[in-house]
Amino acid sequence: MVDTQKHLQDEIDKYKQVQKEYHKALTKRQQLDGQLNENTVVQQELELLQNGNDVYKLIGPVLVKQELIEAKENIQKRIKFITSEMKQTEGLILSLDEKKEVHRENLEKLQLSFHQAQVKTKTKA
């Protein structure tokens, strides 16, 4: 029974760890989604500009003039990077979902065997 209890506690600890990682991944996905939306809006705004318009980039406390083409290329690269990170994070979330399910099933089995062991020790006493 002590062995079953130890296995149960180990499985609970593993499940909690996977849950923490899962919540971290969800938070990261939400952050990336916000960044993607923000950059998409910037891209749409840049598309409204004509070649002669001035574009400024905030670097620290200073506004620095930037070429429109360069600004468009930078925003496209950023969107591509964020999209790539989102796909990677989605894969991680799916993987962690599977791990959570496996640990949950293991916990159910261990809890059942622990309960059965308790019943056996009570009936012997």
What pLDDT digit, counting tens, does each position of 58-106 carry? 999 999 999 999 999 999 999 999 999 999 999 999 999 999 999 999 8
C-alpha 82/C-alpha 89 separation (Å) is 10
The pLDDT value recorded for residue 26 is 97
Q: Residue 1 pLDDT > 70, yes or no?
A: no
CB 39 within 8 A of CB 82: yes
Taking the C-alpha atoms of residue 104 and residue 102, their distance in angstroms, rounded to an integer, is 5
Q: What is the pLDDT of residue 98?
A: 95
**27 or 115, greater pLDDT:** 27
Query: Residue 49 in contact with residue 78, Cβ under 8 Å?
Result: no
CA angle, 105 then 14 then 94, to 5°: 65
Q: Which domains does the chain have, with CATH numbers?
A: 2-120 (1.10.287.370)
Residue 111 CB-half CA count within 13 A: 7
